[in-house]
Amino acid sequence: MIRIGVLGAIGSGKSYVANSFGYPVFDADYEVSMLYKKNKKVFTELKRKLPKYISKFPIDKNEIIHSILSNKNNLRKIIKIIHHEIRKKLKIFLRKNKNKKIVILDIPLLLENKMNAKEDLLVFVDSKNKDIDKLLKKRKKFNQKLINKFKKIQLPLDYKKKRSHFIIKNDFTKKSVKIDIKNILKSILK
């Protein structure tokens, strides 16, 4: 099985690119939202670590946001709890898809949390900052302060780009992404 990890800036189109490959995608953002909605153990842990902020199950995402914005250490506490569970979900996903030729890993902190394997192929989604900013501001719950907190815990984009085996230029047109993906697949499936 070939594992492809998708890297890039917040809002660069990583999820769109991941889903455009046409192979099973491990979507960490979706899995996190399911943990907040359905996992009592995660709720109990978060309530224990952040009693001033987490009050009810299912976990209200606004409480998570408030805790992150109120104290810089809270994001680390949340990540520690959540990524432990995400690792478990990833193992299940990989087991379930072990006979697939390729799987796609759409995990925002893939390198930062050392969730990648040495043999993973890394694809960097390269987008212009002005395009990213324009799209982020259109998001329903856009919060610049929250985005800045997440950017602070991420590895530099230049580092991620250098570590990547392939770069997809995302100008937010389907055509450019599809062509790059086709070329990547052609290259790795020789």
Check which CATH number belongs to the domain holding 12 and give it: 3.40.50.300
Quick one: pLDDT at residue 172? 74
Tokens of 125: 């989604």
Q: Note whether 122 and 56 are same-domain residues.
A: no
- The total number of structural domains in the chain stands at 2
Q: Note whether 37 and 117 are same-domain residues.
A: no
Handedness of CA 180, 184, 187, 190 (dihedral sign): negative
Domain end (from 45, 72, 96):
96
Q: Note whether 35 and 13 are same-domain residues.
A: no
Q: Note whether 2 and 33 are same-domain residues.
A: no
Tokens of 21: 């490959």
Quick one: pLDDT at residue 158? 94
CA geometry: angle 101, 105, 109, nearest 5 deg: 160
Q: Note whether 181 and 139 are same-domain residues.
A: yes
Quick one: pLDDT at residue 183? 95
Is the confidence at residue 26, as pLDDT, over 80?
A: yes
Cis status of the peptide bond prior to 58, with omega within 30 of 0: yes
Q: Note whether 182 and 120 are same-domain residues.
A: yes
Phi and psi based region of residue 48 (left: phi greater than 0; alpha: psi -120 to 50; beta: remaining): alpha
CA distance 31 to 129: 27
Q: Note whether 110 and 180 are same-domain residues.
A: yes
Q: Note whether 70 and 160 are same-domain residues.
A: no
Q: Note whether 83 and 150 are same-domain residues.
A: no
pLDDT band for position 185 (50/70/90)? Answer: very high
**Residues of the domain holding 49:** 29-96
Quick one: pLDDT at residue 130? 78
pLDDT band for position 47 (50/70/90)? Answer: very high
Is the confidence at residue 3, as pLDDT, over 80?
A: yes
Please state, rounded to an integer, the average pLDDT across all residues of the chain: 91
Phi and psi based region of residue 142 (left: phi greater than 0; alpha: psi -120 to 50; beta: remaining): beta
Counted residue by residue, the chain has a size of 190
Domain end (from 96, 121, 148):
96
Q: Note whether 86 and 174 are same-domain residues.
A: no
List the single range of 82-86, 128-132, 160-164, 181-185 with lowest mean pLDDT: 128-132
Q: Note whether 2 and 72 are same-domain residues.
A: no
Q: What is the pLDDT of residues 103-152, one digit of tens each?
A: 999 998 899 888 999 999 999 999 887 777 777 777 777 777 777 778 88
Domain end (from 96, 114, 134):
96
Q: Note whether 115 and 37 are same-domain residues.
A: no
Q: Which one-letter DSSP state was computed for residue 170? A: -
**Paired strand residues for 125:** 8, 168
